[in-house]
């Protein structure tokens, strides 16, 4: 009886200690450089999250090593709700790629919910002599051994897509890693690299303004809007090619439950924000439905993605220390 009462008081005081959260700015770590697609999603989300969370939100870009440096930083941050991580599919591909990952994906984070799903596009420098997917395929065939493929490092979405693309075509390209596809895009536009596969959240405006050439989408269905004319890779003859990138929000393991609940509730509200929807949908992203914005389903989904991509990555023989 006495014990139960003490436990109740303890639980109440823990809850009370966090009742005023957030009392200072909340940092969202983006594990890629500024100006890229993950950064764009984070900045758009921050805008929508500010009101429901009642906090100033600061974006911190910690790029490098395919997103694993930023994820490592958050896994070791104080579990107080003031440092969060917004990461993509790399959360699920890096455990198969890095032999010495500094965190355990399923054990070292609190899962707060999925955010969106984003298709990818195969794009090239504007000077590449091809104007259709068939032209691109011929150009790749005729330039074996000379092609540079930009990506955001081992474990990034662009790496995963490029890996699948090369293995489906049975071609090896020279990969050029960046801290994010924001800076990679600058070099692609400038013609320093030839090809990239990247999220529509980064490529749509560059395609529409003619700064890069676009040849195909990586999803099973064609996209709408200005990108509707692009064939799917499946239509272009690459059977079963399907890469969709998703983003999720995480906190360090041990963040108090009342804080996690506040963030999750704020995330649910932010994902219904009309302006956020408008901005994301214009760039080809689909916001996830309420039912998937919960910690348990988010974690289950990441686990399934680890199991889905592990064998694919293993078959490609890729890994890093």
Q: Quick one: which of 157, 212, 287, 302 contacts ligand ASP (CB under 6 A)?
A: 157
Residue 244 or 294: which CB sits closer to ligand ASP? 244
CA distance 128 to 273: 40
CA distance 119 to 267: 22
Assess 156 for contact with ligand ASP (CB under 6 A).
Answer: yes
Assess 212 for contact with ligand ASP (CB under 6 A).
Answer: no
Residue with tokens 């890229």: 36
If phi over 0 gives left and psi between -120 and 50 gives alpha, with beta otherwise, what is residue 275?
alpha
Q: Quick one: which of 22, 36, 119, 256 contacts ligand ASP (CB under 6 A)?
A: 36
Q: Quick one: which of 199, 200, 206, 219 contacts ligand ASP (CB under 6 A)?
A: 199
CA distance 202 to 182: 8
Q: Quick one: which of 18, 21, 32, 276 contacts ligand ASP (CB under 6 A)?
A: 32
Single out the residue of 18, 138, 158 nearest to residue 89, CA to CA: 158
Handedness of CA 63, 184, 154, 133 (dihedral sign): positive
CB of 196 to ligand ASP, least distance (A): 8
Assess 162 for contact with ligand ASP (CB under 6 A).
Answer: no
| Phi, psi of 150, rounded to the nearest 5 degrees | -80, 145
Q: Quick one: which of 152, 188, 230, 287 contacts ligand ASP (CB under 6 A)?
A: 152
**Interface region with ligand ASP, contact rule CB under 6 A, candidates 49-57, 148-156, 236-244, 281-289:** 148-156
Residue 114 or 260: which CB sits closer to ligand ASP? 114
Q: Quick one: which of 108, 110, 194, 198 contacts ligand ASP (CB under 6 A)?
A: 198
Contacts of range 163-166, beta carbons closer than 8 Å, 24 or more positions apart: 163/313, 163/316, 163/318, 164/241, 164/243, 164/312, 165/122, 165/197, 165/233, 165/238, 165/241
Q: Quick one: which of 22, 95, 180, 256 contacts ligand ASP (CB under 6 A)?
A: 180
Residue 121 or 181: which CB sits closer to ligand ASP? 181
What is the pattern of x (binds ligand ASP, CB under 6 A) and - over residues 10-29? --------------------
Write out the two tokens for 67: 């997103």
CA distance 74 to 84: 7
Within 125-241, strands assigned E span 148-151, 174-177, 195-199, 213-217
**Interface region with ligand ASP, contact rule CB under 6 A, candidates 31-39, 75-83, 124-132, 169-177:** 31-39
Residue 199 or 204: which CB sits closer to ligand ASP? 199
Virtual CA dihedral for 180, 55, 116, 106, nearest 10 degrees?
Answer: 80
| Phi, psi of 100, rounded to the nearest 5 degrees | -120, 50
Residue closest to ligand ASP (Cβ)? 36
Q: Quick one: which of 21, 22, 37, 287 contacts ligand ASP (CB under 6 A)?
A: 37
Q: Quick one: which of 83, 124, 158, 264 contacts ligand ASP (CB under 6 A)?
A: 158
CA distance 166 to 318: 13
Q: Quick one: which of 38, 75, 200, 232 contacts ligand ASP (CB under 6 A)?
A: 38
Assess 182 for contact with ligand ASP (CB under 6 A).
Answer: yes
Total number of residues binding ligand ASP (CB under 6 A)?
A: 18
- Note the residues at the interface with ligand ASP (CB under 6 A): 32-33, 36-39, 88, 90, 151-152, 156-158, 180-182, 198-199
């Amino acid at each position: 009886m006495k014990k139960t009462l003490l436990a109740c008081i303890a639980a109440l005081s823990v809850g009370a200690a966090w009742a005023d959260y957030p009392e200072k700015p909340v940092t969202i770590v983006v594990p890629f450089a500024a100006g890229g697609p993950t950064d764009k999603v984070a900045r758009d989300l921050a805008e929508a999250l500010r009101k429901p969370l009642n906090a100033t939100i600061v974006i911190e870009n910690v790029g490098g090593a395919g997103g694993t440096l930023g994820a490592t930083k958050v896994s070791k941050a104080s579990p107080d709700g003031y440092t969060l991580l917004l990461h993509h599919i790399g959360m699920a591909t890096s455990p198969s790629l890095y032999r010495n990952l500094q965190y355990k994906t399923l054990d070292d984070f609190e899962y707060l919910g999925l955010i969106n799903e984003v298709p990818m596009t195969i794009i090239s420098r504007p000077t590449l002599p091809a104007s259709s997917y068939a032209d691109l395929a011929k150009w790749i065939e005729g330039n074996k051994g000379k092609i540079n493929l930009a990506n955001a490092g081992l474990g990034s979405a662009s790496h995963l897509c490029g890996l699948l693309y090369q293995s489906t075509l049975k071609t090896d390209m020279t990969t050029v890693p960046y801290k994010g596809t924001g800076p990679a895009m600058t070099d692609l536009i400038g013609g320093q690299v030839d090809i990239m596969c990247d999220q529509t959240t980064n490529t749509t405006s560059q395609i529409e303004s003619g700064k890069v050439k676009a040849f195909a989408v990586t999803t099973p269905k064609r996209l709408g809007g200005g990108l509707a004319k692009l064939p799917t890779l499946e239509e272009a003859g690459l059977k079963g090619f399907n890469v969709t990138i998703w983003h999720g929000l995480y906190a360090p393991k041990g963040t108090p439950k009342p804080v996690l609940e506040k963030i999750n509730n704020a995330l649910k509200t932010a994902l219904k924000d009309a302006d956020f929807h408008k901005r994301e949908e214009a760039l080809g992203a689909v916001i996830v439905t309420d039912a998937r914005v919960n910690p348990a389903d988010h974690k289950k989904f990441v686990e399934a993605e680890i199991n889905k991509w592990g064998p694919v990555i293993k078959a490609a023989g890729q890994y890093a220390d």
